Amino acid sequence: MKKSKFSFSDIIFPLYSHPIWAFVIFIVLVMMVFSNQYFQNQLYIEYFAPVVAVLSILSLITPIVAFYLYRTFLSLQETVNLLTETNQNEWFLRQRMFTFGLHPLSVITVTLIAIGGFFTNYYLVWGVWSGIAQFFYFLHIIILFGILGMLGWSYFGILLFSYRLKYLDFDLEPFETKKYEFDKLNSSFLGIFSSGVILYLGATSAGWLAFGSYMLEIPILRYWIFPFAIVVIVFFILIQYFLHQVMKKAKEIRVNKFSLLIRKHYHEWGKSQSNSNSTIINDLLSWKEKIEKESEFPFDFITFASVVVTVLLPVTKAIIDLL
């Protein structure tokens, strides 16, 4: 039997495949950063210790968010199969590898963000530490931004996944609401988005707690929160829209099938004029009307407003600080 050729695209990023080890590595890195700064008398409590502390907390959060993100995504496989009523395991595997796998585009994304994080910190705090303390600080920064790059790529992949859902073949029965499946899909995507909001708020808080008023004096820090907030809100709106398209498609399939059933019984009624067909037609019309009134949007207004307000709160504070 011929063995399949090995490909790096078959590898899941270690952040997702070994989340415990990722968490342990960060703990070790954080300990090395603080201990070396302490033993070299470079742990500047008044000034830069808050910078290291908040970045360390953020780095310890990222493996937890990544673990939740990956497991939540995997839980959608069964939901997709139930929605389409066919086995979509092969399609889902391709989406999983694109979103969480090791391939040229994801590696390039991670590398660029890690380099960007390094040079940003080089610009801000290069002369603060020296020797081994400086080495471990920037090693920590490179790995932290690399992992944030992995998460950023994964959120992009999840966005594409939600977009591609509408192209799956749905063959729903007219009386099947699929309410459980859609509720599962919607709650999973809301959970995935919420974990991203946690990172967003964590990164924002890290910037404020670490640099404080110093942020207002440096252009690279002064306005960074605005594009970040826009990306978060646009992600949520696109997820809402793509899930809306899936729900709308499923609804149209059911309505069309009801229309065919009504037409069939109407022709039978035209031949026999029987009361039974008349009753069936009235019942089908009632069902069809009920389906047409079903919501086509995954999230209600309260959920949408809560998300937008949560994201815009840090932006509001940034605007007040700038004024």
Contact between residue 173 and residue 69 where contact means Cβ atoms under 8 Å apart: no
- Specify whether the CB–CB gap between 262 and 282 falls below 8 A: no
Are 158 and 194 in contact, with CB atoms under 8 Å apart? Answer: no
Report how far residue 233's alpha carbon sits from residue 37's, in angstroms, rounded to the nearest whole number: 38
Domain coordinates in residue numbering, the chain: 8-322
Distance, in Å, from the CA atom of 63 to the CA atom of 70, rounded to the nearest integer, reads 10
CA within 13 Å, CB half, 117: 21
**What's the CA dihedral at 216, 144, 96, 241 to 10 degrees?**
-10
Three-class SS state of 178: coil
The pLDDT score that the predictor gives to residue 91 is 94
Is the pLDDT score of 3 beyond 60? Answer: no
- Kindly report the backbone phi and psi dihedral angles of residue 99, in degrees, each rounded to the nearest multiple of 5, phi listed first: -80, -40
Express each pLDDT in 109-123 by its tens digit: 999 999 999 998 888
Q: Which of 48-57, 149-158, 200-209, 293-302 has the highest mean pLDDT?
A: 149-158
Q: Could you tell me which of 303, 155, 166, 165 has the C-alpha nearest to residue 232?
A: 155
Residue-wise pLDDT tens digits, 70-127: 999 999 999 999 888 888 999 999 999 999 999 899 999 999 999 999 998 888 788 8
Q: pTM value?
A: 0.87
Kindly give the residue spans of alpha helices, DSSP state H, lying in 165-274: 179-211, 219-222, 225-272
Q: Is the pLDDT of residue 9 over 90?
A: no
